[in-house]
Structure 1
Amino acid sequence: MKLADVAKAAGVSQGTASNVFSRPEVVREEVRERVMATARELGYTGPDPKGRLLRAGKVNAIGVATAEPLSYFFEDPFARVVMSGITEICDAHGAGISLVSAMNDEKLAWNIQSALVDGFILFCIEGGPRLVDLTRERQLPFVALELGINDPTISGIGVDNLAGAKQAARHLAELGHQRYGVLAMPFFDNRSGPIPFSEVPTAIYSDSRSRVAGYFLVLQEFGIDVDAIPIYETEGEEETARQGIDYLMSLDAPPTAIFCMSDRIAIAAIERLQERGLRVPQDVSVMGFDGVPEGAFCKPPLTTMAQPIAEIGRQAVKAILEDDGEVKRVTLPVELIVRESTAPPPR
């Protein structure tokens, strides 16, 4: 059933019938009622909005993509807050959101290619380079949330990871700690475990590299042998964070302070330390990075480097809606939030 069939049956032009569905205010009431009654009789529900939007060159929707499972958007505390910023701006502009995700590369490629959107916001937490390559092929505007991608040829929104990590390290060093450990976000895809400092400069994710660099630059100022600091690469979630704690605390000289590259890792670390009978911060201090709401409510409340997470999401949507073809790189500041998970080392 087509609009032309409805117009013919109702005795009006196709243009008038089209106005009934798209601009009803310009059609006389009796004509509107006749056309709508005819449409109901014929089982016609209206023009396909996809076709109208595609003809206009816009679909008024933003794609939010990740190589993580779809559950990432709902389970990860950082992603949830970013999404709150994204939805705030989308609501203000009447724009829709399409979540794009897949567990395997083939499905991800199909989802990126078939998504009916005007542009993409990329969560490059894992599989970042592949995600960027697939999105480039769509030739639509896109912006990477810089969870590891540092390509100057693409638009990106992130924070000053180096400065934030330096501030975190200075806080712990000034408390008097001498023995440190690092629970890192991914340096490479699909791996976890201890990683020597010598491998860090080769990591594909720049955020992880920058945070280690920031920690170690400041610790060197305090006379710490950074080559001896153990680094455990997690996959950014609870299970490998807990494994990392088991590794760090089994060392001959376990750390009295642990840098966690995300609050999600830090919260899991605190829980695992407590399961092992250790007190936070009396025995071990834990430092997070993100500033997610959950950090304020864990026990003890988490000391962290707070990102303007919702603002990252808001800026990402604006970058798509206001795209002019130019590459835009936005770096936002972070703030040290001192709570109760850090203290001087035990005597």
Structure 2
Amino acid sequence: MPTDRRRVTLKDVAARAGVSPMTASYAFTRPARVASATRERVRRAADELGYRPDAVGRALKSGRTHQIGVVFSEHLAYAFDDPQAAQFLAGVAEVCVEEGRGLTFIPTRGDAADADRVLSAAVDGFVLWTTAEDDPVLAAVAGDPRPAVIQGGPPRRGIACVTQDDYRAALAIASQGLRDGRTPVVISFPLDRDREHLVTTGAGLPPHAPFPVTDARLRGYRAAVEQAGLSWTSTPVAVVARNTQQDGLDAARELAPLLTPDALVIAMSDELALGAHQALHETHPEAAYLGWDASPAGRRLGITSVTNPLRDQGRRCARLALDPGRPPDDQEIPWSVTS
């Protein structure tokens, strides 16, 4: 009988049960290979001795942790505060439950240690939330042998991508909103990892944004504005630091002096559109709003939006991360404009 001064080992359990250490190990790791009576004897001995299997040791031996690592380029709290990010995580979590896997959050801070922090995580595969093209985590994960999937891009060799055709969707929703001859303003996601707040016009935007979602949607909005015979270079644009209703509200208040009574507020998410509506519904009651994500709150206000089933995208990402074959083809999600 072991003393209380040292940790109970598998050998102690095997001795108590009257079996070999290998048989005792199989009782926990490969129960189908052990007779039920023997398996029960081993487990009873473990309970009597207070033994618990060493999950870390088992992971080292098998080379698998049975964990999926989720990497957010946003502040980690965003995963819980943003309704759409929460839907995405719910999809990942559903697959983890179905497959008996754990879920590990890997925070990033935008510093030089991010890549090492991600690669040192004890996980079997990675699911990444959309990030910028120059994020060093991308190169690190792409060079790692573990499966990796990213939602929204950017596309990178060695990382599967689950995304929408954001350019065509942005073109479609903006074109629909401009049919009534309204005057557009845009509330945009961040342009790069610096996340600088900015109020400018189309002329003041860089030719390319490192965030692929931001870049594709801005290009789509620009094409719609120019096809409507309007000037993109003079279209007011507010760039927010975060995708929150508060950021949308603040941006709309800054844009308010530039708005015509029939303004069309083109926001890159329902959250931003909801914030803009809160800021402008009294001063600009005739304004119309476009969003993205087709959220329940947006639908209640009649905001025209783009469907973006992030729960399904989370499920797809998790399934691909569990596939050691790492399918090379990107997974494009269908979309539609709804109001």
Measured against the shorter chain, the TM-score band is: 0.7 to 0.9
Letter matched to residue 96 of structure 1: G
Task: Give the fraction of aligned pairs with identical amino acids, expressed as a percent.
Answer: 27
Query: 1:16 matched to which residue of 2?
Result: 23
Query: 2:83 matched to which residue of 1?
Result: 77
CA 1:140–1:11 in 2, change beyond 3 Å: closer, same or farther? same
Return the match for 1:239 from 246, 252, 258: 246
Matched, 1:174 2:179: yes
CA 1:325–1:84 in 2, change beyond 3 Å: closer, same or farther? closer
| TM-superposition CA deviations, 1:282-306 (whole Å, max 9, x none) | x211100122333223xx2321011
Matched, 1:186 2:193: no
Query: 1:227 matched to which residue of 2?
Result: 233
Structure 1 SS opposite 2:284: coil
Query: 2:3 matched to which residue of 1?
Result: none
Matched, 1:66 2:67: no
Return the match for 1:133 from 130, 139, 149: 139
Once residues 252 and 88 of structure 1 are traced to their aligned partners in structure 2, the CA distance between those partners, rounded to angstroms, is 44
Query: 1:215 matched to which residue of 2?
Result: 221
Give the CA deviation at 1:3.
0.9
Structure 2 SS opposite 1:289: coil
- Structure 1, 148-157 or 159-168: larger mean CA deviation: 148-157
Once residues 151 and 231 of structure 1 are traced to their aligned partners in structure 2, the CA distance between those partners, rounded to angstroms, is 29
For the aligned residue pairs, the C-alpha RMSD in angstroms reads 2.5
Structure 1 SS opposite 2:258: coil
TM-score by length of 2: 0.86
Once residues 310 and 109 of structure 1 are traced to their aligned partners in structure 2, the CA distance between those partners, rounded to angstroms, is 27
Matched, 1:119 2:125: yes
Once residues 129 and 327 of structure 1 are traced to their aligned partners in structure 2, the CA distance between those partners, rounded to angstroms, is 21
**Do the aligned partners of 2:91 and 2:311 also contact (CA within 8 Å) in 1?**
yes
- Structure 1, 94-103 or 261-270: larger mean CA deviation: 94-103
Query: 1:343 matched to which residue of 2?
Result: none
| TM-superposition CA deviations, 1:237-270 (whole Å, max 9, x none) | 2333222111211227576101100111111111
Letter matched to residue 90 of structure 1: C
**Do the aligned partners of 2:151 and 2:161 also contact (CA within 8 Å) in 1?**
yes
Once residues 207 and 125 of structure 1 are traced to their aligned partners in structure 2, the CA distance between those partners, rounded to angstroms, is 9
Once residues 145 and 155 of structure 2 are traced to their aligned partners in structure 1, the CA distance between those partners, rounded to angstroms, is 20
TM-score by length of 1: 0.85
Once residues 40 and 276 of structure 2 are traced to their aligned partners in structure 1, the CA distance between those partners, rounded to angstroms, is 65
Return the match for 2:296 from 274, 293, 302: 293
Query: 2:63 matched to which residue of 1?
Result: 57
Structure 2 SS opposite 1:90: helix
Q: Gaps spanning 5+ residues in structure 1: where?
A: 339-347
Query: 1:266 matched to which residue of 2?
Result: 273
Structure 2 SS opposite 1:82: helix
Give the CA deviation at 1:106.
5.7
Query: 1:284 matched to which residue of 2?
Result: 287
Query: 2:5 matched to which residue of 1?
Result: none
CA 1:24–1:210 in 2, change beyond 3 Å: closer, same or farther? closer
CA 1:152–1:257 in 2, change beyond 3 Å: closer, same or farther? farther
